[in-house]
């Protein structure tokens, strides 16, 4: 079994590349999705509510990620608390997923999409790491289009993460997602055939 970390910057194309690997036969997992799922778990829900209060709930009494995000975005102490509750749960779900795949397919390739892989120093968890790269200008353009926000807003989001050029330098494998989706698929297919399946 091979476990590959997939990372990049905001809107660099991680999801796009992950889905392409999935089409080729990889088992895939997304850290963001797991983190959203934890908010529905009873013990996480209770701990967060106790700590942050009712203000983090929406009208259906579900945890509102935007409200939670606003509290932790500029408050390191609160972010640390949130991570201390959520991260062990993400790790549990991730390990259960890997164990399950391992049982049914010993030759499986798992692609785990972790946006903050380098920021959280998770390099050692993986057999290899792929960075989905776009230059900063393209990244800003895609954030603005997808999130319908201003250039200033996009810049602000980028500042919260490690520079994508830094990530590119650290990567074992790079997917250049500046071109068309077709260009990206060709690279993904090549990596899958030659590097992953070809040994």
Q: Which stretches of the chain bind ligand ATP, using CB under 6 A?
A: 8, 10-16, 115, 142, 146, 177, 180-181, 184
Nearer to ligand ATP, 19 or 47 (CB): 19
Q: Judging by beta carbons within 10 Å of its beta carbon (0-12, 13-18, 19+), is residue 84 exposed, middle or buried? A: exposed
Q: How far is the CB of 100 from ligand ATP (least distance, A)?
A: 24
Q: What does the alpha-carbon distance between residue 55 and residue 43 come to, in Å, rounded to a whole number?
A: 18
What is the total residue count of the chain? 199
Nearer to ligand ATP, 56 or 134 (CB): 134
Q: How far is the CB of 183 from ligand ATP (least distance, A)?
A: 7
Q: What does the alpha-carbon distance between residue 63 and residue 59 come to, in Å, rounded to a whole number?
A: 9
Q: How far is the CB of 192 from ligand ATP (least distance, A)?
A: 17
Q: How far is the CB of 68 from ligand ATP (least distance, A)?
A: 17
Q: How many Å separate Cα 177 from the centre of its chain? A: 16
Tokens at 82, concatenated: 């949130």
Which helix (H) or strand (E) segment holds residue 153: the answer is: helix 151-158
Nearer to ligand ATP, 15 or 41 (CB): 15
Nearer to ligand ATP, 82 or 154 (CB): 154
Q: How far is the CB of 54 from ligand ATP (least distance, A)?
A: 28
Nearer to ligand ATP, 52 or 86 (CB): 86
Distances from the Cα of 96 to the Cα of 34, 89, 152, angstroms: 12, 11, 40
């Amino acid at each position: 079994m091979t476990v590959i970390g997939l990372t990049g910057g905001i809107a660099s194309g991680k999801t796009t590349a992950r889905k392409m690997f999935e089409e080729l036969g990889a088992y895939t997992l997304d850290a963001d999705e797991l983190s959203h799922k934890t908010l529905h778990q009873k013990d996480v829900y209770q701990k967060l509510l106790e700590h942050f209060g009712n203000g983090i709930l929406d009208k259906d009494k579900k945890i509102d990620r935007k409200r939670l995000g606003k509290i932790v975005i500029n408050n390191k102490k609160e972010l640390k608390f949130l991570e201390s509750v959520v991260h062990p749960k993400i790790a549990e779900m991730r390990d259960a997923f890997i164990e399950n795949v391992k049982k049914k397919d010993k030759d499986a390739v798992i692609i785990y999409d972790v946006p903050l892989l380098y920021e959280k120093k998770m390099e050692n968890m993986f057999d290899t790491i792929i960075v989905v790269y776009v230059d900063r200008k393209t990244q800003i353009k895609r954030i603005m289009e997808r999130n319908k926000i201003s250039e200033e807003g996009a810049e602000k989001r980028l500042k919260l993460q490690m520079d994508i050029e830094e990530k590119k330098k650290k990567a074992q494998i790079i997917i250049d997602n500046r071109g068309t989706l077709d260009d990206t698929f060709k690279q993904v297919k090549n990596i899958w055939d030659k590097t992953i399946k070809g040994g």
